[in-house]
Amino acid sequence: MGFDGWRKKIDAIDLKLVKLLNRRSQCAIEIGKLKLKTGLPVYTPEREVEVLRNVTTANQGPLNHKAIRRLFERIIDEARGLERDYMDRQRGMKGPKKKR
């Protein structure tokens, strides 16, 4: 396969990743709703450790564990921001978005 074929393959995978990341993000918003109802904080370090352990254990390469960990730390950070934004809006903290 040439450059164009491989690039088309990457483009198709990228579109799938966007859909999956948005699905994951919607799940994070739903978790934010539950946390708000139950009074739990946005940040739960135990859960973050569990997610990172799960994804690094499942990793079979070619990305190394450090790379997977960095990617998921970023994904988790964005999800936490979504949860926080939702919870803040529900608590009436309207106005400019906070920087994450």
* Spatial distance between the Cα atoms of 87 and 17, rounded to a whole number of angstroms: 26
Q: What is the DSSP letter of 98?
A: P
Q: Which CATH fold would you assign to the domain 3-90?
A: Chorismate Mutase Domain, subunit A (1.20.59)
Six-digit token string for 5: 């074929």
Reported pTM:
0.83
Tens of pLDDT, residues 27-81: 999 999 999 999 999 899 999 999 999 999 999 999 999 999 999 999 999 999 9
For the chain, the structural domain boundaries read 3-90
Provide long-range contacts, Cβ within 8 A and 24+ apart, for 25-28: 25/78, 25/79, 25/82, 28/79, 28/80, 28/82, 28/83
